[in-house]
């Protein structure tokens, strides 16, 4: 089986003439050209749950393959009149979303997925929890603090999401596991420090609540997004992959086709 993976498409955050339809066409060609059987998207498809859902559906129709995703923090940004809890519930009930819905591929492999959340543990320890919880630093504000209103604080949400993932891992622990999150779960994907801004903003990059999972469960691949890196490495028999398309201003070229091709990764099992 050939599994395509990509993250952080941000289809509604483009500065030039590209449209959401362009993203669908380019990604469809990449999928079909590589004979992909299943596509995994590690979050941040758009800034609106309706746009995210519509894009997944249209991409499935144009490629005729199964697609599974986890929402990223941008996918949770609330439109006016709807709560963050309602947005989360929408995703949990979405048939292509992996939250609380592990995908059994065969007798040997399964996929477990969740957004995950950041727990502030990647920040420089000089910052207090109160300061980190404000999301404000050097005149800027982490936009999740403005666009999302969870009923609990970030560290508690991270623990809750990790507990959900552990329950899913328990159900498939007799198989090799592909784990997909949006936030990062390994310190090698943080922005190197010391850094004038990311000494602080690394707080919102990843979580340490998944650390024991890599020792306790047969995770063979760990896919994540969020940081807009395109990087992978292997450690202790686990392949960590971060295939982020990212914002257009971060691309190496202005060519959407080239950027998708350079971002897209394939896992064969």
Predicted TM-score of the model (pTM):
0.97
Note whether 67 and 38 are within 8 A (CB): yes
Note whether 41 and 6 are within 8 A (CB): yes
**pLDDT over threshold 80, residue 158:** yes
**pLDDT over threshold 90, residue 72:** yes
Distance (Å, whole) CA 53 – CA 46: 9
Give the DSSP letter string of 170-189: HHTTTSEEEEE-SSB-SGGG
Distance (Å, whole) CA 96 – CA 57: 9
**Mean predicted confidence (pLDDT) in 75-85:** 93
pLDDT tens digit sequence for 22-71: 999 999 999 999 999 999 999 999 999 999 999 999 999 999 999 999 99
Strand arrangement, sheet containing 176-180: 103-104, 109-113, 176-180, 219-223, 238-243, 230-235
17 confidence band (pLDDT: 50, 70, 90): confident
**pLDDT over threshold 90, residue 16:** no
pLDDT tens digit sequence for 216-252: 999 999 999 999 999 999 999 999 999 999 999 999 9
- Please, what is the Cα angle at 44 between 53 and 213, to 5 degrees? 105
What local confidence, expressed as pLDDT, does residue 134 receive?
Answer: 98
CATH code at position 223:
3.60.21.10
What local confidence, expressed as pLDDT, does residue 15 receive?
Answer: 73
pLDDT tens digit sequence for 88-144: 999 999 999 999 999 999 999 999 999 999 999 999 999 999 999 999 999 999 999
What local confidence, expressed as pLDDT, does residue 86 receive?
Answer: 97
Domain count, the chain: 1
Residue ranges of the alpha helices (H) in the chain?
20-33, 49-63, 84-92, 129-134, 144-147, 154-171, 198-201, 213-216, 256-263
What range defines the domain where residue 22 resides? 2-268
**pLDDT over threshold 80, residue 210:** yes
For the chain, what is the mean pLDDT? 97
**Mean predicted confidence (pLDDT) in 164-186:** 98
What local confidence, expressed as pLDDT, does residue 14 receive?
Answer: 80
What local confidence, expressed as pLDDT, does residue 176 receive?
Answer: 98
What local confidence, expressed as pLDDT, does residue 13 receive?
Answer: 86
């Amino acid at each position: 089986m050939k599994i395509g993976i990509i993250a952080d498409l941000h289809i509604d955050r483009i500065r030039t003439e590209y449209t959401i339809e362009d993203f669908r066409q380019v990604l469809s060609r990449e999928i079909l050209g590589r004979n992909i059987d299943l596509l995994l998207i590690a979050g941040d498809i758009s800034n609106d749950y309706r746009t995210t859902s519509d894009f997944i559906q249209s991409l499935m129709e144009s490629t005729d393959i199964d697609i599974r995703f986890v929402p990223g923090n941008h996918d949770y940004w609330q439109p006016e009149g709807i709560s963050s809890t309602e947005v989360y519930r929408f995703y949990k009930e979405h048939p292509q979303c992996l939250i609380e819905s592990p995908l059994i591929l065969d007798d040997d492999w399964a996929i477990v997925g969740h957004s995950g959340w950041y727990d502030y543990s990647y920040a420089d320890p000089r910052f207090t929890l109160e300061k980190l919880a404000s999301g404000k630093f050097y005149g800027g504000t982490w936009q999740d603090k403005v666009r999302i209103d969870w009923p609990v604080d970030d560290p508690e949400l991270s623990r809750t999401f990790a507990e959900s993932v552990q329950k899913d891992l328990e159900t498939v622990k007799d198989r090799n596991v592909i784990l997909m999150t949006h936030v990062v779960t390994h310190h090698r994907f943080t922005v190197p420090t010391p850094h004038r801004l990311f000494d602080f903003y690394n707080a919102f990059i990843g979580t340490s609540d998944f650390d024991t999972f890599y020792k306790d469960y047969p995770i063979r691949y760990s896919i994540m997004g969020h940081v807009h890196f395109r990087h992978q490495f292997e450690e202790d028999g686990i392949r960590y992959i971060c295939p982020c398309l990212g914002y257009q201003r971060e691309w190496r070229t202005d060519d959407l086709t080239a950027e998708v091709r350079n971002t897209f990764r394939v896992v064969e099992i």
